[in-house]
């Protein structure tokens, strides 16, 4: 009689590809042989089939066993299902109110506020049951002249720069490459230093609203709608000229995707057609005309001159675990009307071709969203979006007021919920980065994090002065003093509760 244990290990590994969490758990309890095979191959197969991208956990997870990584993900997914998390500010309120930006790598999170960069390094936990720490690495000022304020408008880590090189854009139109240098003082305190160099600004002198880097490519989008695709110049032999196109609208955000079958860049603007996708040729040139126009369902079949003007402020690749698969051709967008709209570039659900003054215009027919999400209790514009979270199936959206982030699981989108940042800053959430167990956000006053993972302690994040009422922060009562009050509510009910 043929049994599972009599099969060659190679065949068992193939069987593992179709198994889930409970199957692996049951097999590991069956006998010593299957326990060993599950430990050696099963949990790795499970992780491969259930990826959980996360910059802040990458270094720690590299040292954990596959079983410990799987256990961490399962506990985290369960916390997401219960909407249970630790809410922590990452700093005191800044002396001023800024339109802030964020970028992360596998080594650090960097926040740009005013003329300053604030860096938080990602550490490695002492054990797999403790949450990997996030440590304040230091702040640097990029002011050139003390009497001339110049705010940071965009920043991005440069791939190949060992998580230390960033391109930083300023409101005066300049762009700089900043090389972070982390050191330790004689007393053991971290010290952050830097070097800087000027980069070529955009030709019209306009300031950059959005900066993205992928592979050896950098995409810069100006506020007046000029998009430049260029090499990051880390390779001196790469002298290819940049590709520049005019989007011809007030522009806000871009999305760069080189993994799709047809690489593309998407641009969120203020216009009658506020979300457009442009192809990137093998030569590295941006197409001047969009290959896709992403539209709202309610505007179907209207002539272009009657389309209401709107704006798209947030763009992200879709969740890796969604009804549409993990394709890079899924785009999630945050709109001025408070809607989060998901698009599948492979979809055939389109409106009729756009017309102007009774004549059909050239270009593709607008693509309808495959899913629209909204907080029924809020009509605020969506300023930022990011995807990931529990089961890699969540969308996070930062709103324009009250420091609120809204969450949806795209597998059950009717059960969304929202939460205020700790301290309830009266501010937009300008940027959000959603990982497997952590959601980083930043308001006009400070950065913060929601942590859904296990093992979070008082030492996981930078300490905040424990003074009653300071910065409107309040510790949550109970056994875990690592968390602060954060008001949350469900979208399908009017009841509020404190987390």
Whether pLDDT at 473 is above 60: yes
Whether pLDDT at 1 is above 70: no
Whether pLDDT at 210 is above 60: yes
Whether pLDDT at 308 is above 80: no
| Region of poorest pLDDT, from 35-39, 224-228, 271-275, 346-350 | 346-350
Average model confidence (pLDDT) across the chain: 88
How far is residue 280 from each of residues 53, 214, 218, 295, 432, measured CA to CA in Å?
25, 13, 12, 21, 26
Calpha distance 431→353 (Å, rounded): 34
Predicted local confidence at residue 27, as pLDDT: 82
Calpha distance 263→379 (Å, rounded): 34
Whether pLDDT at 70 is above 90: yes
Q: What is the mean pLDDT of residues 184-212?
A: 89
453: nearest Cα among 135, 128, 136: 128
Q: Where residue 225 falls among pLDDT bands split at 50, 70, 90?
A: very high
Q: What is the mean pLDDT of residues 63-73?
A: 93
Q: Where residue 217 falls among pLDDT bands split at 50, 70, 90?
A: very high
Determine what percent of the chain is predicted with pLDDT higher than 90. Answer: 64
What DSSP letter does each residue of 346-400 carry, written as one string? Answer: T---B-PPPEETTEEPSSPPPBPPSEEE--TT--PPEEEEEEE-GGG-EEEEEES
Q: pLDDT tens for residues 154-164?
A: 999 998 888 99
Of the ranges 153-162, 175-184, 444-453, the best mean pLDDT one: 444-453
Is 241 buried (19+), middle (13-18) or exposed (0-12) by CB count in 10 A?
A: exposed
Calpha distance 369→341 (Å, rounded): 6
Whether pLDDT at 72 is above 90: yes
Helix (H, G, I), strand (E, B) or coil at 212: strand
Predicted local confidence at residue 359, as pLDDT: 44
Q: Please give the DSSP secondary-structure letter assigned to residue 280.
A: B
Q: Please give the DSSP secondary-structure letter assigned to residue 40.
A: I
Can you point out the beta strands (E) in 97-242?
A: 101-104, 108-113, 116-122, 134-141, 152-157, 165-170, 175-184, 190-199, 208-214, 217-222, 226-231
DSSP β-ladder status, 394-399 and 487-490: unpaired
For residue 496, what is the enclosing H or E element?
A: strand 496-498
Predicted local confidence at residue 412, as pLDDT: 92
164: nearest Cα among 145, 185, 192: 192
For residue 277, what is the enclosing H or E element?
A: strand 275-279
Predicted local confidence at residue 295, as pLDDT: 84
Q: Where residue 350 falls among pLDDT bands split at 50, 70, 90?
A: low
pTM of the model: 0.91
Dihedral Cα 65, 66, 69, 73, nearest 10 deg = -160
Would you kindly state where each structural domain of the chain is located, as residue ranges? 4-74
Predicted local confidence at residue 96, as pLDDT: 87
Determine what percent of the chain is predicted with pLDDT higher than 70. Answer: 91
Predicted local confidence at residue 178, as pLDDT: 97
Q: Where residue 42 falls among pLDDT bands split at 50, 70, 90?
A: confident
């Amino acid at each position: 009689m043929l049994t599972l244990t009599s099969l060659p290990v190679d065949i068992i590994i193939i069987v593992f590809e179709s198994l889930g969490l409970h199957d692996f758990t049951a097999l590991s309890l069956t006998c010593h042989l299957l326990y060993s095979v599950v430990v050696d191959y099963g949990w790795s197969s499970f992780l491969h089939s259930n990826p959980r991208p996360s910059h802040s956990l990458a270094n720690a997870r590299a040292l954990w066993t596959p079983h410990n990584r799987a256990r961490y993900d399962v506990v985290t997914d369960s916390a997401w299902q219960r909407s249970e998390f630790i809410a922590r500010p990452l700093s005191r309120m800044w002396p001023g109110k800024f339109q802030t930006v964020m970028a992360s790598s596998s080594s650090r999170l960097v926040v740009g506020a005013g003329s300053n960069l604030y860096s938080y390094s990602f550490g490695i936990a002492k054990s797999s049951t403790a949450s990997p720490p996030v440590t304040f690495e230091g702040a640097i000022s990029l002011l050139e002249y003390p009497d001339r304020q110049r705010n940071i408008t965009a920043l991005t880590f440069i791939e190949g720069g060992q998580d230390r090189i960033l391109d930083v854009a300023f409101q005066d139109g300049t762009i700089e490459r900043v090389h972070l240098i982390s050191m330790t003082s004689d007393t053991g305190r971290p010290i952050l230093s830097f070097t800087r160099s000027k980069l070529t600004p955009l030709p019209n002198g306009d300031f950059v609203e959005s900066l993205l880097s992928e592979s050896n490519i950098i995409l810069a989008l100006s506020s007046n709608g000029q998009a430049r695709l260029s090499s990051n110049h880390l390779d001196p032999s790469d002298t290819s000229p940049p590709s520049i196109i005019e989007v011809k609208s007030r522009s806000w955000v871009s999305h760069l995707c080189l993994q799709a079958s047809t690489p593309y860049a998407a641009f969120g603007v203020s216009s009658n057609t506020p979300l457009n996708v442009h192809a990137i040729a093998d030569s590295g040139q941006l197409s001047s005309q969009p290959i896709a126009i992403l539209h709202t369902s309610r505007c179907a079949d209207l002539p272009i001159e009657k389309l209401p003007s709107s704006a798209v402020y947030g763009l992200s690749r879709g969740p890796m675990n969604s009804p549409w698969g993990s394709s890079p051709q899924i785009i999630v967008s945050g709109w001025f009307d408070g809607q989060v709209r998901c698009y599948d570039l492979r979809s055939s659900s389109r409106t009729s071709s756009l017309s102007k003054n009774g004549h059909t215009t050239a270009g593709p027919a607008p693509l309808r969203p495959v899913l629209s999400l909204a907080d029924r209790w809020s009509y605020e514009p969506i300023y930022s979006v990011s995807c990931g979270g529990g089961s890699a199936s969540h969308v996070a959206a930062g709103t324009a007021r009250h420091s609120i982030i809204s969450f949806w699981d795209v597998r059950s989108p009717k059960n969304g919920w929202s939460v205020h940042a700790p301290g309830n800053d009266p501010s937009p959430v300008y940027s959000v980065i959603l990982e497997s167990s952590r959601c980083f956000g930043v308001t006009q006053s400070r950065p913060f994090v929601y942590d859904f993972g296990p093992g979070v302690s008082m030492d996981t994040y930078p300490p905040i002065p424990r003074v009653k009422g300071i910065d409107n922060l309040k510790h949550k009562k109970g056994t875990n003093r690592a968390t602060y009050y954060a008001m949350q509510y469900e979208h399908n009910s009017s009841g509020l509760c404190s987390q």
